[in-house]
Amino acid sequence: MSNYIPLFLMLVIAFGFGAIMANLSKWIGPKKPTKEKLSTYESGMEPIGTTRDRISIKYYIVAMLFIIFDIEIVFLYPWAVTFDKIGVFALGEMFLFLALLFIGYIYILKKGALQWD
């Protein structure tokens, strides 16, 4: 059990340091609330309407498609960096991956997911 004492000590110090740093500005920072400081801030614009407004589902579909394709493109970077070491088999695998990516892109185009009304 004595072998774990340094580990527990390190965890206590790490959590303590994190808690102190997270609350430090709240404890010692200036506290002069004004109307402008307490107002809602969204991208530099005053909020218009309520939070209950309905948003078109197309917005969420395009956002999800962007994230999906963006993450898939990220997989190309490690492949490109190690291209000279991984051989011909990985080249074929990457062409298969890109073909599936392209098929998915054609599918969403045919379904009209990227068409704005």
Tell me what the mean pLDDT of segment 10-14 comes to.
Answer: 97
Give the pLDDT confidence of 70-110 residue by residue, as tens digits: 888 888 888 888 888 888 888 888 889 889 888 988 998 89
Domain spanning 2-111: which CATH class is it, in words? Answer: mainly alpha
Number of H helices, E strands in the chain: 5, 0
Q: Which residues, 6+ apart, have CB-to-CB distance to 105 below 8 Å?
A: 69
Residue 43: burial class (beta carbons within 10 Å; 0-12, 13-18, 19+)? exposed
Q: Identify residue 106 by its one-letter amino acid code.
A: I
What per-residue confidence (pLDDT) applies to 114? 79
Q: Where are the domains of the chain?
A: 2-111
> Is residue 33's pLDDT more than 90?
no
The mean pLDDT of the chain is 85
C-alpha separations of 77 from 92, 98, 99 in Å: 16, 13, 17
Asked if residue 42 has pLDDT above 70, the reply is no
Does residue 25 have a pLDDT over 80? yes
Could you tell me if 82 and 93 are in contact, meaning their C-beta atoms sit under 8 angstroms apart?
Answer: no
